[in-house]
């Protein structure tokens, strides 16, 4: 192996760079440790230009250094290190470090939220732990509906993506555990739906009754009622549940889709619960994240 590496290391840098450009960002970083020749090729703009998207969307001012222009490798590492804001500051994007896949988050302001501009039902609060300046806080609704969309051309071609609602629950939340919500992802004429829930239930918590924080639509929102003739949501009913993220937020998978050839269309997402008639409150929405679907 060492002899083969030495022989390969004698190849011209242009040829090494061309070879590395057909691998992956991870392989290019590993190759830099092989030899001095590999390091020069692995750091070259010609190798890393192939890992950067050709159609990088316009970014907000100040998101990237301009003087001097960054090397292609440094640009890739910056874009894969943390999200950058697009020009409207309502969408952020980054690159998957292993594959270079373009990933996005649509801010709450970029989404369509039913009653979102009515302070009685939703309020807008500052966020200190997000690239976005504000998020949407659910005050009280019985008709819960959030929708978002992204153009297919903004995404990487021939890639399986998953969409996630990124959220928190404040200390006053209620009504988000029952009934479960319906999530959907639509691409063209294909529409996939699944049942999801903002809360995870252990079996011992599912005691055969709707949780104590169930509020029926016909009651004033401050009144509480316990309903014994309906069930909470135990495990084993194929209901998607949230997961804790490294950044302190929670995420709930809405579904996945295949962006075939970067079709000239839109991908639409929705999360709603409009039939149960219970009041809901205490949800804080950062946005919907669209990223490369990876194996669990």
For tokens 């929705």, name the residue.
270
Interatomic CA distance for residues 281 and 260, integer angstroms: 38
Mean pLDDT, 10 residues at a time, the chain of 296 residues: 44 54 65 62 75 90 84 91 96 95 98 97 97 97 97 94 97 89 94 92 42 42 40 62 96 96 86 92 97 87
Whole-number pLDDT of residue 224:
43
Structure token digits, residue 138? 């659910």
CA dist., res. 153 & res. 261, Å (int) = 9
Give the span between the Cα atoms of 72 and 11, in whole angstroms: 22
Phi/psi of residue 281, nearest 5 degrees:
-160, 165
pLDDT at 97: 92
Give the C-alpha distances (Å, rounded to integers) separating 193 from 181, 186, 199, 268: 10, 9, 18, 12
pLDDT at 111: 98
Please list, residue by residue across 101-138, b when 16 or more beta carbons sit within 10 angstroms of its beta carbon and e when fewer do: bbbbbbbbbbbebbbbeeeebbeeeebeebbbeebbbb
On whether the CB atoms of residues 129 and 247 are closer than 8 A, the answer is yes
- The pTM assigned to this predicted structure is 0.82
Picking from 141, 139, 138, the residue whose alpha carbon sits closest to that of residue 165 is 138
The partner residues of 272 in beta bridges, in order of sequence, read 145, 182
d(CA 20, CA 38): 9
Cα distances from 191 to residues 16, 48, 157, 181, 283, in angstroms, run 45, 36, 19, 16, 26
SS3 235: coil
pLDDT value of residue 131: 96
Give the CA angle between residues 181, 185, 189 to the nearest 5°.
130
Coil, strand or helix at 8: helix
């Amino acid at each position: 192996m060492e002899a083969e590496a030495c022989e390969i290391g004698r190849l011209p840098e242009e040829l090494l760079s061309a070879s590395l450009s057909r691998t992956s960002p991870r392989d290019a970083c590993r190759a830099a440790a092989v030899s001095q020749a590999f390091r020069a090729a692995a750091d070259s703009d010609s190798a890393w230009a192939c890992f950067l998207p050709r159609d990088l969307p316009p970014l907000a001012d100040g998101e990237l250094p301009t003087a001097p222009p960054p090397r292609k490798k440094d640009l890739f590492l910056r874009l894969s290190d943390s999200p950058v804001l697009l020009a409207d500051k309502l969408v952020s994007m980054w690159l998957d470090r292993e594959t270079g896949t373009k990933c996005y988050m649509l801010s709450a302001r970029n989404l369509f939220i039913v009653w979102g501009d009515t302070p009685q039902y939703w309020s807008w609060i500052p966020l200190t732990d997000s690239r976005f300046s504000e998020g949407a806080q659910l005050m009280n609704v019985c008709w819960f509906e959030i929708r978002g969309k992204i153009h297919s051309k903004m995404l990487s071609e021939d890639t399986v993506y998953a969409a996630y609602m990124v959220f928190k629950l404040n200390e006053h939340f209620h009504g988000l555990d029952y009934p479960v919500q319906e999530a959907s992802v639509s691409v063209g004429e294909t529409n996939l739906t699944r049942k999801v829930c903002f809360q995870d239930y252990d079996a011992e918590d599912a005691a055969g009754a709707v949780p104590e924080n169930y509020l029926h639509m016909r009651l004033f929102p401050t009144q509480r009622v316990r309903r014994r003739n309906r069930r909470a949501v135990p495990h084993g009913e194929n209901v998607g549940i949230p997961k804790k993220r490294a950044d302190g937020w929670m995420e709930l998978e809405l579904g996945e889709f295949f962006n075939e050839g970067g079709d000239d269309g839109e991908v639409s997402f929705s999360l709603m619960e409009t039939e149960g008639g219970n009041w809901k409150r205490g949800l804080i929405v950062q946005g919907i994240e669209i990223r490369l679907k990876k194996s669990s």
